[in-house]
């Protein structure tokens, strides 16, 4: 469908994307592979668009599921961090088409991959997830060591590496727990039988930014690829380590729309469902064709704002499924062809995913990942 027909659109700043990547490449060095994490539609940015834009720089990509892996364009290596189905035909085709690395946490998963690999006629490459304190996916270190031995019974499985994930490296300036996890992972690594040529990885964006000792063989670069620090605490910790303003990450995504109606509202009239907003003076409002079905959070009703002509236009009334209303009384000559910025820059003003998250009591990850994937994403230089 023609992108011009959509009521809102997303622009992707590919220069910012590549700059963010290069910042981490310079910080990490050339010996450690960098795998951008493009799960959840590339954190809402558009998986296909991000993969195409960053492929020349990346060493591979991380996704959550086998289904996501099946949609990765190009031929860069793919690491599946989470789910894959118990469906031999699909897995065999995926092995032949994409050659992904699977993360496993059970013998049953290994057996399923072994059967699919035999059907495909090629070995299945796997990593084992090691539990070090997050208590999400993962095997306890002793269980992971036992799994290494069990895998010898599977002729079509190739063990390629091990991973873990930090529980509390982002939302704190006290990284004692993360360092305890790193110690457990390194101890597990030392306990492995000698002679295996394995890849080890544990670093997310925050770890990659703050702790060189976590870089190991591979970094899983997530939210910071898209221009955001993992948290305010991560930003503060990076400043304490001496990062300068020129090192600032650049948000990649902008979200824009145009008004579909501009109308006058008399003093005393109500705006929107539930009569939650009443005009205390004669007003001019703009009706925007964006709502919570697009991923614009309903909790921004009567509290958020958009940018028009470099000025803030407050949201009036409840955000609807497909529409919202904003106050443009103070903005001269707003027209139907006016570009309205929901996320992004407009002159000296800026709205980020962090701006919206702070108003809705959530995190910027959720704001970005929640944007409707049907909205067109357009790379711009």
Report the C-alpha gap between 327 and 273 in whole angstroms.
16
Q: What is the pLDDT of residue 2?
A: 63
At 248, the pLDDT band (50, 70, 90 cuts) reads: confident
pLDDT band per the 50, 70, 90 thresholds, residue 242: confident
pLDDT band at 195 (very low <50, low <70, confident <90, very high): confident
What average pLDDT score do residues 58-87 get? 97
Q: Give the number of other CB atoms < 10 A from CB of residue 340.
A: 23
Over residues 182-206, mean pLDDT: 95
Catalytic-role residue among 15, 158, 263, 273: 273
Domain with CATH 3.20.20.10 in the chain: 14-247
Q: Which residue has the higher pLDDT, 4 or 220?
A: 220
Which pLDDT does position 3 carry in this prediction?
67
Residue 262 bridge partners (DSSP): 286
Q: Which of 100, 126, 140, 110 is nearest to 196 (CA)?
A: 126
Residue indicated by tokens 């099946």: 70
pLDDT of residue 180: 98
Exposure on the CB side of residue 48, measured as CA atoms within 13 A:
8
Of residues 86 and 244, which shows the higher confidence score? 86
Quick check: is 15 catalytic? no
Residue with the two structure tokens 């296909």: 48
Q: Which of 18, 39, 129, 256 is catalytic?
A: 39
Q: What is the pLDDT of residue 317?
A: 98
Among 2-11, 99-108, 117-126, 248-257, name the one with the lowest average pLDDT. Answer: 2-11
What topology does CATH give the domain 253-380? Lyase, Ornithine Decarboxylase; Chain A, domain 1 (2.40.37)
Asked if 39 is an active-site residue, the reply is yes
Q: What angle do CA 37, 38, 40 make, to 5 degrees?
A: 120
**Confidence check: pLDDT of 1 > 60:** no
Average pLDDT over residues 44-69: 98
The pLDDT, as a whole number, for residue 244 is: 75
Strand locations in 238-282 (E): 253-257, 261-265, 270-271, 277-278
What distance separates the 2 farthest-apart alpha carbons in the chain?
Answer: 79
Average pLDDT, the chain: 96
What pLDDT does 245 receive?
Answer: 67
Residues of the chain with CATH 2.40.37.10: 253-380
Q: Does domain 14-247 have CATH number 3.40.50.10540?
A: no
* pLDDT per position as a tens digit, 184-193: 999 999 999 9
| CA separation for the pair 202, 181 (Å, rounded) | 10
The pLDDT assigned to 208 comes to 97
What does the pLDDT average to over 164-169? Answer: 97
């Amino acid at each position: 469908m023609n992108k011009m027909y959509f009521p809102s659109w997303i622009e992707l700043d590919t220069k910012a994307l590549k700059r963010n990547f290069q910042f981490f490449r310079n910080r990490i060095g050339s010996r450690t592979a960098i795998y951008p994490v493009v799960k959840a539609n590339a954190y809402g940015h558009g998986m296909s668009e991000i993969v195409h834009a960053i492929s020349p720089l990346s060493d591979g990509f991380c996704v959550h599921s086998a289904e996501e892996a099946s949609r990765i364009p190009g031929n860069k290596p793919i690491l599946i961090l989470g789910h894959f189905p118990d469906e031999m035909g699909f897995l065999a085709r995926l092995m032949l088409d994409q050659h992904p690395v699977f993360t496993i946490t059970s013998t049953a998963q290994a057996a399923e991959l072994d059967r699919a690999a035999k059907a495909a006629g090629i070995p299945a490459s796997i990593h084992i997830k090691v539990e070090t304190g997050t208590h999400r996916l993962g095997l306890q270190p002793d269980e992971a060591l036992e799994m290494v031995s069990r895998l010898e019974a599977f002729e079509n499985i190739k063990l390629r590496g091990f991973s873990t994930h930090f529980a509390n490296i982002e939302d704190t300036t006290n990284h004692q727990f993360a360092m305890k996890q790193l110690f457990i992972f390194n101890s597990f690594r030392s306990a492995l039988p000698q002679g295996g040529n394995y890849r080890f990885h544990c670093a997310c964006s925050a770890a990659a930014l703050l702790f060189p000792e976590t870089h190991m063989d591979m970094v899983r670069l997530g939210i910071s690829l898209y221009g955001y620090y993992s948290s305010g605490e991560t930003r503060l910790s990076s400043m304490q380590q001496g990062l300068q303003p020129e090192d600032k990450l650049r948000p990649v995504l902008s979200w824009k729309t145009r008004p579909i109606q501009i109308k006058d509202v008399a003093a005393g009239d109500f705006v929107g469902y539930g009569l939650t907003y009443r005009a205390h003076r004669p007003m001019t409002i703009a009706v925007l064709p964006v709502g919570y079905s697009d991923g614009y959070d309903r909790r921004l009703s009567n509290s958020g704002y958009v940018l028009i002509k470099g000025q803030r236009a407050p949201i009036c009334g409840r955000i609807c499924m497909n529409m919202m209303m904003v106050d443009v009384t103070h903005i001269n000559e707003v027209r139907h062809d006016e570009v309205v910025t929901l996320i992004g820059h407009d002159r000296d003003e800026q709205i980020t995913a962090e701006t919206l998250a702070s108003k809705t009591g959530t995190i910027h990850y959720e704001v970005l990942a929640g944007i409707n994937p049907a909205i067109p994403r357009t790379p711009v230089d």
